[in-house]
Structure 1
Amino acid sequence: MLDELELMSQEPESAPAEAPEVGEPVEKDQLTLLMERVSDHGEEINEMLDELEAMEYEHENEEVAEVLSQRENHTAESFVHLVKQRFGDSVPDGLLSEEELQIYIRLYDNPLDRLDFDEMAEEEEEPSLLREDGQGGWEEVEVDKEPADETDTVYAYDMDNPPQEPETLAMQRTREVTEQLGGKEALEQFEDEAVPGPTMRADPNTLVGQFGTDPSTIFLPEKTIINPITKILSGYANKHLNEVSNRLFGGPGLPHSTATPRGGSDLPQKPIQLDASQRFMGQMEANTYLAVLYPGIYASTLSVLVETRKRLGDEWIRGLLSQKGGPNVLDASGGGAGILAWKDLARTEWEKMYPSSGGMATPPGKSTVIVGSDTLRVRASQLLENTTFLPRLPDYTNLRQKPTMEDSREAPKRKQFDIIIAPYSIQKWTENHERKRHVENLWSLLNPNGGVLILLEKGRQRGFEAISGAREMLLQRHIASPGSTEFDNFLDDPDQREIIQKEPGMIVAPCTNHSTCPMHNFSGTSHGRREYCSFEQRYVRPFFLQNILKAKHRNHEDVRFSYLSVQRGKDLRQDRGFQQDSTTTEAAFEGFPTPENLRQNNEPSVETLALPRTVFPPLKRDGHVLIDVCTPAGKIERWTVSRAQGQQQYRDARKAKLGDLWALGARFRRVRNLELGGKHFEGKKERLERRAAERQLDGEEDPIEDDDDFEDPDEGYRARDMPQDVQKKKGQRVPTWKKAHHNKKLRQAYNRRDTD
């Protein structure tokens, strides 16, 4: 083909030139002649370039071949995310299957047909070095290239799916510092991951117990969340959105939203100031609700829904989608973000059930959202389809259950929902009895034949206490367990004492026990609490949230939350035949390694609801890993997994994360001491008062303070006789250094008096 182009370029030279007209130059410019030749043979040249491009796409696209070789190590959704990261919107033709293409369209819209190789940057030519030749001209100097050092080592870093690249100076410096600071463990981890083979894959029982989504980072869907919210916010200035968000959610970092800033332990733990059920909400408040709260609520809810689906199995979600009319889902406090998370989960399962639909069919079901204000309802309706909006939550706590002496009619019909999602709805109630009544009302709205209730709160001390209080109330009054099948309401209503029979139920997650929570030491606020149960989910911040936070340097966020997922009307302990007690804990400590015949088929061989769950991030040490777990017996223990147990157990232990269920046992165990605070936690004021009382009991005199009532019996000196700048006026705070200076002067005066 190149020869043909060369012949074409030489062919016009032999053609006779036309006679020039008057006033026209005899010789044409060489550039003009070249342009004429190209225009005469333009079509042929374009065809040849297309053939060259096809050959380059077929034989020289090594990057596409490399991505295709990694497909077996990914699920369909994670492979789509990998393709998006590597190729952006220009996806090569034939790289994605039909199922993967539908997932890509749902998440990122339609991709381009193929890569445009003409737009790819060409390699830059190496610059040449010139010098004067002594005769007024220049000559090129040949530069000898230094031979590459064959002893240099290329280090591979285990990110999700990176190509191997040469080690830069920054990477070399990072590696050296890591080794100096004890980076032996990290390098050891890279060595384990660099060794391929079936022995280094995760155990199937480990995989089935993993917490969180796959991939671990959630990408908010553009079609249903990012694009509609961007369109709504397009008419408002980022400056105004930032000001309103800081005013509503606690200033920079928005600590009173769904976010949990690092190092914010000293900040007051307030509930989210905006409530979806509040009756009045302005335009800017509704905008900030969508921009600030929707991403965090969506990510945390989706994480909990995925975990619930893992523990209940395929039969639960497929049974809901297969029933007549589909599932009835209620978003009680998420403003619609919980419904969006459920629809994404249901759509993924629906595509697995009916792959022939091509992802175009919508899963059946009814959606209901509690939204009190019209401004938020109008905006939420642009993100949700076929959704019913209610102004407030129905109250069934005081509704009669059966005919009475005063009213012989049948009990009124109630709405029943198969799934109720209630994120960040408990902590706003300040009184304990109000929280119990709210949770009881949500429980009464559940379908008694397998309905699932999901509660979420912020991953802080007060959020955990709200969730643990709801768990205690449900176990005490409603969910039956072995040895606890009745509830006596004598303490609640002594005048109308009644023995209530509990109903079947099951805590799905995160607890794998139905005993008292080992971190819930008492009802109410625990002062001085440092340890509590919380989990986290990473998601990619949309650009409008980055603009509000003014954090364009960081495009992701780890939302921390405490949660409870409970099912009403079904007890899987009886259906599946397992227990949650000390015997189960002993068996889990021994471990459940997968037999080889099941391992080849990647099939788990353990009941995940009877496994301990990691409640703190695992601690990696040299030769062993420390895992803090909440056992089926209801205790927090520290398990030690050592290298001596086996390569598989040690490798999976180093890969374990917060929230995973652990099935491979341990070598040592001990009960872990927790810092849970208490009701009578001693603050600074209480500590000073206690010390003063102890000194009085011991007969010691209190130190002299600038008190107006102080009077020396010998000299008649009063504290009010002190200088005017030291006297304390009403509503004025005297600095500490002034008090110390005044006390020093008093001591000097006493010493002079004693000397005289």
Structure 2
Amino acid sequence: MSGQRFSSTTASPSESPQPSDDTETINALIERINQNDDEMAKLLEELELIEDVDGMEELADPLEGQEYTPEIWVQMVRQQFGDTIPEGVLNEEETQLFTRLYGEPIVQEMVEEASAEEDKKESDRLFREDGKGRWEEIEYEENAKAEDDIPVVYDMENSSEEIETIAMRRTREVAEQLGGEIMLEQFENEAVPDSAPRAHPLTQEGKFQTDPRTIHLPKNTVTGPISVILSEFSNKHISDTARRLFGGPGLPHSTTTAPPRAQLPQLPIPLHASQHHMGGMEANAYIAALYPGIYASILSVLVEVRKRMGTDWIHHLISQEGGPNVLDASGGGAGILAWRDVVRAEYELMVPAHPEGAAIPYGRSTVLTGSETLRLRASAMLDNTSFLPRLPDYVHVREKPTLEDSRAAPKRKQYDVVIAPHSLLGFEEEYQRKEHVQNLWSLLNPNGGVLILLEKGRQKGFEAIAGAREMLLKRHIASPGSTEYENTLESPGNSTTILKEPGMIIAPCTNHSTCPMHNPAGPTKGRRDYCHFEQRYIRPDFLQRIMGAKDRNHEDVKFSYLAVQRGVDLRQERDIRQNAEATDAAFEGFEHLEEPDSSNIDSLSLPRAIYPPIKRRGHVIFDLCTPAGKIERWTVPRSFSRQAYRDARKSNWGDLWALGAKTRIPRNLNLGDKHGEGKKERLARRAAARAGSREVDEEGEFDELDPKEDEAVDGIVDEGSDRSAFPARKKGQNIPSWKKHADKKKLRQAVKKRGAAEDAL
């Protein structure tokens, strides 16, 4: 038998010698037993009841001519198979010896594998019962070709058959019961085949996103230093302070944007960097709860500004003497951290051989911090930074000598970039916001300074940004057909004409006309549509603990923003068109332009998606703000263009669109009530208008009071109550129905209260 081992039959020296006849008989018996074993093994192999073990014959050969010992056998098994040995190679004694010498072996079960030829041979045999309890083989001719030999024609448009899962089977059964059919939704990745073309260069250039799209706050410059600062204080105290300041769990009054269904009041952020009184725990809450959101939103805006301004702009700032001069006017230092990350990434592209850890020309940084506690924390994260307790007021400072003061005008500070997040909603009056924006504008370098305004992505935040945009276009930024304005504030009788200076809006607008989503008359109530964008970032651990979040570790911060440049008008330098003709050209699409750098197409003349694209089966819908200053809805179906449809499926909120569309219609907007009134005020105004337009009966249409109710009212007034809650009804006055019901409700409550008081007596 192959692989069989035999024990030595040699008698040991201690054993007594046997007679020679007995020895010959025993040897003959052993030889006969071996022959029978060999014959039985061959018979079993023919019947396929056993099979050879790979390597057993190779193991048996070395034992020929050697005396068997467990040590020799275990050593050969180890050399042949290593630690993984076939089942049955070692007996119990040998297994123990193997474990003691080499460790516990891994026993591998032998799996019977039939060869392909044997399977084919077995499948070609046909048997039938012969009636005697046996089976006989019959011969047959293969007249037909096997199914495998039939040529197959593949439908390249049809996908491979999917295995029906339990959920799919249940869905199919429900569809059959309802008399319908299953329609598989084409998702983003499935709708565009793998063979689809890559994104168009203009599509790539118009992307509104960071890389990667979700911002991970850097540990070395943001989360790490903040964690070190907060480690000296109790987590519970910081969390309680943050919730007390920012509106409770979830911090709805911080940079976090609460959903509209929460119906929370739109209040400004209670803490601002310019306030002079801020305790230690309040400063901790500021950097822990506000820094991450401010950093993420400002970084998103700076990346977009960098794309629209081009590489030359930031290269010029880095290369100038002293580097860029940047002011963080209301971010407490978070804006400077975001700016430095943009400069670092750009400088590494400019100087690929820049050694890691070497100095980077960040330039001069200035941060507004009114309190000493916030300044100490910001200075721990920002080196080579100046801190201002307040901003200089250049609005009310003379620009040239006057009759009263002949001295030269004081020298003004000028910054290349001014970052002002969440600084407008803190002012209660509109004129205060305008003066603040004018002051920030005067702080800009007149030869290309950039101002970035940012507010929360809610209705009031957008209205504050839109009001600042309207003021800058009206008084400071010159546009074709609007290069001057009349100033009537200097003297009541005389108006002076003031020339505007060059400048332009960088983002998000691609037009300089009146904002189609803003009402110049002032804020409105019930507004649904407003321009805002979002940026996702990963919350750091300390912010997760403050918010009490246990599962979701990311946040989509929503914001409205405006980026403008002073002293430089790229529309003239690049010959950028922002009008109805540019909108029509964008609707036709620029797909045929494979090299946008060599063409006359600029991203600042393209429409921008002000809402997330609506991706349906077979088409994509865009809500775009066009260069003509209109809000339109464009539809890109699959049949329009393969490239355009592919890019539309990959598009996102805030992208600029350059590949055209098949249809376009005006987008209906819900901008709230133009009179700035609530429901009650609106009903009262409409009732007054109807009363004034028709003749009122002299007797009027008034409900007579019940005598008991009238007596109760007189009693309440006699006791000192204010009767203004129950106004007298004048003759000829038409009172709206809601007012009647309100008066009756108040009267019933007064009667009920008086009755309860009398019963108590």
Q: Quick one: structure 1 residues 650 and 739, their matched pair in 2 at CA, closer, same or farther if it must change by over 3 Å?
A: same
**Aligned CA-pair RMSD:** 4.2
In the alignment, which of 668, 678, 682 is matched to residue 663 of structure 2? 668
In the alignment, which of 255, 258, 262 is matched to residue 255 of structure 2? 258
Question: Would you say the 8 A contact 1:351–1:359 is kept in 2?
Answer: no
In structure 2, C-alpha distance between the alignment counterparts of 1:363 and 1:166, rounded to whole Å: 57
Aligned to 2:615: 620
Give the CA deviation at 1:519: 1.1
Query: How does the TM-score come out when normalised to structure 2?
Result: 0.70
Q: Does 1:636 align with 2:631?
A: yes
Between the two proteins, what is the percent identity of the paired residues? 58
In structure 2, C-alpha distance between the alignment counterparts of 1:313 and 1:383, rounded to whole Å: 29
Question: Would you say the 8 A contact 2:478–2:500 is kept in 1?
Answer: yes
Note the alpha carbon deviations across 1:302-358, whole angstroms, 9 max, x for none. Answer: 000000000000000111111111100100000000000000010000000001013
Question: Would you say the 8 A contact 1:614–1:658 is kept in 2?
Answer: yes
Give the CA deviation at 1:496: 5.9
Aligned to 1:381: 379
Give the CA deviation at 1:730: 5.4
In structure 1, C-alpha distance between the alignment counterparts of 2:506 and 2:72, rounded to whole Å: 77
How do 1:165-180 and structure 2 match up within 5 A? none
How do 1:718-737 and structure 2 match up within 5 A? 718-720=709-711
In structure 2, C-alpha distance between the alignment counterparts of 1:178 and 1:403, rounded to whole Å: 84
In structure 2, C-alpha distance between the alignment counterparts of 1:178 and 1:425, rounded to whole Å: 55
SS of equivalent to 1:187: coil
Give the CA deviation at 1:529: 1.6
Aligned to 2:531: 533
Across the two proteins, how many residue pairs are aligned to each other? 591
Aligned to 2:234: 237
Give the CA deviation at 1:185: 7.7
In the alignment, which of 304, 308, 312 is matched to residue 305 of structure 2? 308
Question: Would you say the 8 A contact 1:208–1:604 is kept in 2?
Answer: no
How do 1:30-179 and structure 2 match up within 5 A? none
Aligned to 1:106: none
SS of equivalent to 2:250: coil
SS of equivalent to 1:224: helix
How do 1:352-367 and structure 2 match up within 5 A? 352-364=349-361, 365-367=363-365
Question: Would you say the 8 A contact 1:203–1:594 is kept in 2?
Answer: no
Question: Would you say the 8 A contact 1:205–1:604 is kept in 2?
Answer: no
SS of equivalent to 2:639: helix
Long gaps (5+) in structure 2: 1-58, 60-70, 79-94, 110-161, 727-740, 752-761
Which segment drifts farther, 168-177 or 476-485?
168-177
Give the CA deviation at 1:412: 1.7
Aligned to 1:561: 559
Long gaps (5+) in structure 1: 14-29, 39-122, 127-164, 705-709, 747-756
**Counterpart residue identity of residue 663, structure 2:** F
Question: Would you say the 8 A contact 2:175–2:182 is kept in 1?
Answer: yes
Aligned to 2:149: none
Q: Please identify the structure whose Cα radius of gyration is greater.
A: 2
In structure 2, C-alpha distance between the alignment counterparts of 1:284 and 1:674, rounded to whole Å: 44
Question: Would you say the 8 A contact 1:489–1:499 is kept in 2?
Answer: yes
Q: Does 1:192 align with 2:191?
A: yes
Q: Does 1:466 align with 2:464?
A: yes
Q: Quick one: structure 1 residues 454 and 688, their matched pair in 2 at CA, closer, same or farther if it must change by over 3 Å?
A: closer
In structure 2, C-alpha distance between the alignment counterparts of 1:656 and 1:186, rounded to whole Å: 18
Question: Would you say the 8 A contact 2:523–2:676 is kept in 1?
Answer: no
Q: Does 1:283 align with 2:280?
A: yes
Q: Quick one: structure 1 residues 738 and 670, their matched pair in 2 at CA, closer, same or farther if it must change by over 3 Å?
A: closer
Give the CA deviation at 1:543: 1.2
In the alignment, which of 641, 648, 651 is matched to residue 656 of structure 1? 651
Note the alpha carbon deviations across 1:464-485, whole angstroms, 9 max, x for none. Answer: 0110111111111111111111
Question: Would you say the 8 A contact 1:450–1:570 is kept in 2?
Answer: yes
Give the CA deviation at 1:170: 8.2
Question: Would you say the 8 A contact 2:368–2:391 is kept in 1?
Answer: yes
Q: Quick one: structure 1 residues 317 and 216, their matched pair in 2 at CA, closer, same or farther if it must change by over 3 Å?
A: same
Aligned to 1:686: 681
In structure 1, C-alpha distance between the alignment counterparts of 2:638 and 2:481, rounded to whole Å: 41
SS of equivalent to 1:656: coil
Note the alpha carbon deviations across 1:719-747, whole angstroms, 9 max, x for none. Answer: 4459x99x99959999x999789989x9x
Question: Would you say the 8 A contact 2:524–2:677 is kept in 1?
Answer: no
In structure 2, C-alpha distance between the alignment counterparts of 1:373 and 1:389, rounded to whole Å: 10
**Counterpart residue identity of residue 627, structure 1:** F
Q: Quick one: structure 1 residues 664 and 288, their matched pair in 2 at CA, closer, same or farther if it must change by over 3 Å?
A: same
In the alignment, which of 215, 218, 231 is matched to residue 218 of structure 1? 215
Question: Would you say the 8 A contact 2:522–2:676 is kept in 1?
Answer: no
Give the CA deviation at 1:650: 1.4
**Counterpart residue identity of residue 472, structure 1:** E
Note the alpha carbon deviations across 1:209-257, whole angstroms, 9 max, x for none. Answer: 0112121100000111111111111233332222211211112221111
Aligned to 1:154: none
**Counterpart residue identity of residue 521, structure 1:** N
Q: Quick one: structure 1 residues 571 and 740, their matched pair in 2 at CA, closer, same or farther if it must change by over 3 Å?
A: closer
Question: Would you say the 8 A contact 2:640–2:662 is kept in 1?
Answer: yes
Aligned to 2:453: 455
Give the CA deviation at 1:426: 1.0
In structure 2, C-alpha distance between the alignment counterparts of 1:209 and 1:481, rounded to whole Å: 24
In the alignment, which of 272, 286, 303 is matched to residue 269 of structure 2? 272
Question: Would you say the 8 A contact 2:74–2:97 is kept in 1?
Answer: no
In structure 2, C-alpha distance between the alignment counterparts of 1:729 and 1:676, rounded to whole Å: 45
How do 1:696-711 and structure 2 match up within 5 A? 711=705
